[in-house]
Amino acid sequence: MSKPTPLSGFPEWLPAGQIVERQVVETLRRTFELYGFAPLTTRAVEPMDQLLRKGETSKEVYVLRRLQADADDPSDSGLGLHFDLTVPFARYVLENAGKLQFPFRRYQIQPCWRGERPQEGRYREFLQADIDIVDRDTLPAHYEVELPLVIADALRALPLPAVTMHVNNRKLCQGFYTGLGLSDPMEAIRIVDKIDKIGPAAVAEQLTAVLGASDAQAKACLALAEISTPDASFADRVAALGVTDPLLDTGVEELVAVVEAAAEHAPGLLVADLKIARGLDYYTGTVYETFLAGSESLGSICSGGRYDNLASSGDESYPGVGLSIGVSRILGRLLGREELTATRTVPTCVLVALPNDESRADCDRLAMALRRRGIATEVAPAAQKYGKQIRFAQRRGIPFVAFPGEDGVQIRDIRSGEQVPVDPATWQPPAEDLHPRIVAG
């Protein structure tokens, strides 16, 4: 068999990276459950009409089809792999609304697939961790305040660089563009959302070419996008632009509430950034983008917003608000730069040294006794010299080696070299050694 060629865009971390990912997921899970979010897993595929109905493009969706098909069973199944967890969640709510208790709070940690050009931070298969709150008919705005506080606790429980969440409100932008007299406020939002990619001048050109905006209107749009404050003072700067509209007033009021709550409960977390819009059409209120200090070029590592119409069918409507953490995006950057690693590459806490082949049954019994008490243990693979068995443990980061003998068991901390006799029925490793931990590199 020839050596396989790696596939770009499908990350497969080495064992230490796998352990880091598992610990990250577990930390997020614990935090989400502390806030009362219930776990949810949905299927990997959705009907194509559902995947494409809210602003996504077909070229980014992986279509599901059989490799072999006949006339009675066409290869095009009409199904595609989900590219995020919000669209499947909206579908799940509609299908199960009669069985759910509202407001419904859920977290979901699953792979997603997106057919785009792989690059740093962008993968074809990636792990996301989402939280959403949905309600029936109406969703109080205070949930838009709560969600960034949940994410702040989740990310601060990890050894990550500092994070800053940039927030805006689609009502604020839509109301401002309506008050300006632009012909299509939603198209204006999409154009201004490109400002970091194409620059202010190109945005102004597009506003003029696509919407027929005057120089004064384009200038006002750019002036709004330039507003960024760490507190609620953005409201005064918006008012100074002289544009009025009822929807604008509502958006400003809602964004002020989000920023002021964060200032009280998570100081330094939020920045009001009025160029943030999010590209997907389904957002209707507060929108969020989050950046890692020192890795701003990576783009947002946690994004989302308020959506009022995504989960709706006929007269039934289930507005929601959600945030999604790009787990693979974060790990790709921090593992790649060795800024994050695990204290060991295996779960094993204790290696039972093997004096000779005849002792394997006794060593297996010792290992089993430790495992029954929740201590991850393995027996050395071969009865080599003890020095080689200790080096076997060192290479994997296993902190303790147990030496069975006629006079009992001794355990050595191979980092300090300290070796003491122990009772395997009562010995317990320090809490920080029981499981691998994530550490900053």
Tell me if 125 sits within 8 A of 9, measured CB to CB: yes
- The answer to whether position 126 is within a domain reads yes
Structure tokens at 244: 């009025």
- Which single residue is written with the structure tokens 């930390």? 27
Structure tokens at 124: 């074809």
- The answer to whether position 1 is within a domain reads no
* CATH code of 369's domain: 3.40.50.800
Q: Is 373 among the annotated ligand-binding positions?
A: no
Q: Which of 282, 313, 342 is the last residue of a domain?
A: 342
**227 closest CA partner among 215, 218, 236:** 236
Q: Is 283 among the annotated ligand-binding positions?
A: yes
* CATH code of 31's domain: 3.30.930.10
Q: Which amino acid is at 244?
A: T
Structure tokens at 10: 């499908």
Q: Give the CA dihedral 277, 280, 286, 289, nearest 10 degrees.
A: -60
Q: For every one of its 441 residues, what pLDDT tens digit does the chain have, with 9 covering 90 and above?
A: 578 888 889 999 999 999 999 999 999 999 999 999 999 999 999 998 888 876 556 678 898 887 776 666 666 678 999 999 988 999 999 999 999 999 999 999 999 999 888 888 789 999 999 999 999 999 998 999 899 999 999 999 999 999 999 999 999 999 999 999 999 998 998 899 889 889 999 999 999 999 999 999 999 999 999 999 999 999 999 999 999 999 999 999 999 999 999 888 889 899 999 999 876 677 889 999 999 998 988 899 999 999 998 788 778 899 999 999 999 999 999 999 999 999 999 999 999 999 999 999 999 999 999 999 999 999 999 999 999 999 999 999 999 999 998 889 999 999 999 999 999 999 999 999 999 999 987
From start to end of 296-398, where are the E strands?
302-307, 312-313, 316-317, 320-326, 340-342, 350-352, 377-379
Q: Is 132 among the annotated ligand-binding positions?
A: yes
CA atoms within 13 A on the CB side of 188: 31
- The answer to whether position 391 is within a domain reads yes
Are both 16 and 107 inside the same structural domain? yes
- Which single residue is written with the structure tokens 């964060």? 262
Q: Is 128 among the annotated ligand-binding positions?
A: yes
Q: Is 307 among the annotated ligand-binding positions?
A: no
- The answer to whether position 288 is within a domain reads no
